[in-house]
Amino acid sequence: MRGGGEGEEQTPDSGPLSAEKLASVAGFGRAVAAAGYVSQPQSVEELQEILEVASSREWKVTLRGTGRSYGDAALRSEAIVLDLRRMNRILSWDRESGVIDIEPGVTIEQMWQSTLPQGWWPPVVPGTMRPTLGGCLAMNVHGKNNWQAGTVGDHCLEFDLMPPSGEVRTVRPDTDAELFQAVIGSFGQLGVLTRIRMQLKRVETGSVRVTAVPVGDLGEMLQRMDGAKDDHEYVVGWLDAFAQGKRLGRGQIHLASYLAAKDHPSPQESLNLESQSLPDRVFGVLPKSKMWWFARFVTNRFGMRWVNSVKYFHARIFERNKTYDQSLAAFQFLLDYMPGWERAYPADGGLIQHQSFVPAGSAEEVFREQLEICHRYRMPSFLAVLKCHRADDFLLSHAVDGFSLALDFPVTAKNRQRLWAMIQELSQPVVAAGGRFYPAKDAAISAQLFQATWREGQLARFSKLKSEIDPRGRLTSALAERLLLPSH
């Protein structure tokens, strides 16, 4: 594996995979990439055929959705990369009960666009609508409502699982609780999800009512976020990671709740897709597809210091406790406003994100230390986001009763080694506080740090299942090899 980049080469092999190419496959942040044989099955039968060939030739297989994990979760050198985006049919949709059956390559975007006009919304969504449901369940994604709605896995009613042997098995939380809780969040290591049944949430309108609250420091930020949990459905904090001293952790919180029909002037229209479309021009002039190109000029340490400060003072002066209504798509998928924004990061390295989950009682101390470590390394995060969480029973769960802090960092050929060293240092207070890390938002931590966050017996339970389901270790990824290797 190596740093990001492009490249293509024909595979010398013949058979069902002969048309596939050795191609460079990167994580979302482009900081890590690997050359794999990309294959795009369109059906369960094609998938079975590929797994059979892989098995007969002793090839490794890595599963991939839209590649929206920031790091190395959906890539591996010289493996067959099973890109599942073409298995993207909605198999059934019941508008009375809100139950939907889908193939794993259906995206969050495709799903809500099919159901919102009838008044149903996915109860848990990440900050972008591009991921597939297969990828979301494999990482067990959370939203800005994790402390009250749980993870995407909490709304999954059942799924079909295809282990490397190729036989499909339906797994339900009531009859196969252990397997259900192990597969969700196991980053594609226990089989391919080939069908997913989800329960959606009834909504009366396609809007949320949002309040923006400026906060002066980290302590106030965490206190206010915690205090808002009873009265709001979504809570998210942004902080200016360049601020130091007394201002460390200053930022803004957004609180939001679903808008009831009685509070909306046109509830039915708000459910239409036209009411949800994100504007295609910024300030009414600049095409948003080109915005990343302009953003390149400020995506550096000096530019981002300025951007973070301006954002903070704007929040303090012009948005102080302002309440406004926003479409569900605009509120949830803020990062989709500027397609390709990740390309504004350095061409020679991209970006990585690091998200730590810390129990409530230690969060202020740990996050303070992390922000200070970044200053000491002279690498403050360009974008820092806080969320509220609750613990859950999924075997490899990343959530705890507390908060998470997600930090974005630019990667360059020059800072790469130092940045990786800094991530190890940022992780230590998290481990000491009984916190966790999120594989979807990681490219750097060591197996030792990752495994130090596991509960007793967890690794043994996971390893037992893995050896039963995939005895030859066919399914793997660069992330699995980095984090699951014996650390001692």
Ligand X SMILES: Cc1cc2nc3c(=O)[nH]c(=O)nc-3n(C[C@H](O)[C@H](O)[C@H](O)COP(=O)(O)OP(=O)(O)OC[C@H]3O[C@@H](n4cnc5c(N)ncnc54)[C@H](O)[C@@H]3O)c2cc1C
Distance from CA of residue 473 to its chain's centroid? 25
Which CB atom, from 31 or from 136, has the smaller least distance to ligand X? 136
Single-letter amino acid, residue 369: E
Identify which range of 30-38, 135-143, 277-285, 287-295 contacts ligand X by CB under 6 A.
135-143
Which CB atom, from 153 or from 214, has the smaller least distance to ligand X? 153
Residues 405/385, Cβ–Cβ less than 8 Å: yes
Residue selected from 55, 113, 128, 268 as contacting ligand X according to rule CB under 6 A: 128
Residue selected from 4, 36, 123, 127 as contacting ligand X according to rule CB under 6 A: 127
Q: 197-232 in b/e burial notation, b at 16+ Cβ within 10 A? A: bbebeebbbbbbbbbbbbbebbebbbebbbebeeeb
Residue selected from 36, 153, 188, 237 as contacting ligand X according to rule CB under 6 A: 188
The single-letter DSSP state of residue 91 is: E
Identify which range of 14-22, 171-179, 188-196, 219-227 contacts ligand X by CB under 6 A.
188-196
Residues 312/238, Cβ–Cβ less than 8 Å: no
Identify which range of 123-131, 211-219, 246-254, 424-432 contacts ligand X by CB under 6 A.
123-131
Identify which range of 66-74, 202-210, 375-383, 442-450 contacts ligand X by CB under 6 A.
66-74
Which CB atom, from 64 or from 354, has the smaller least distance to ligand X? 64
Which CB atom, from 25 or from 248, has the smaller least distance to ligand X? 25
Nearest distance from residue 192's CB to ligand X, in Å? 5
- Find the helix packing angle between 360-376 and 218-227, rounded to 10°: 150
Does 404 contact ligand X by CB under 6 A?
no
Residue count of the chain: 488
Which CB atom, from 64 or from 474, has the smaller least distance to ligand X? 64
Neighbour tally for 166: CB within 10 Å: 16
Does 60 contact ligand X by CB under 6 A?
no
Identify which range of 141-149, 292-300, 303-311, 455-463 contacts ligand X by CB under 6 A.
141-149
Residue selected from 67, 119, 122, 123 as contacting ligand X according to rule CB under 6 A: 67
Residue selected from 39, 114, 132, 427 as contacting ligand X according to rule CB under 6 A: 132
Nearest to 301 by CA among 377, 246, 233: 377
Does 88 contact ligand X by CB under 6 A?
no
Which CB atom, from 65 or from 410, has the smaller least distance to ligand X? 65
Residues 136/177, Cβ–Cβ less than 8 Å: no
Single-letter amino acid, residue 315: A
Q: How far apart are CA 108 and CA 102, in angstroms?
A: 11
Identify which range of 5-13, 134-142, 215-223, 459-467 contacts ligand X by CB under 6 A.
134-142
Extended strands (E) in 200-233: 201-202, 207-215
Residues 354/449, Cβ–Cβ less than 8 Å: no
- To which residue do tokens 């992780």 refer? 427
Residues 123/140, Cβ–Cβ less than 8 Å: no
Neighbour tally for 377: CB within 10 Å: 16
Please report, as ranges, the residues that interact with ligand X according to CB under 6 A: 28, 62-69, 73-74, 84, 104, 126-128, 131-132, 134-136, 138-139, 141-143, 187-188, 192-193, 335, 440, 477
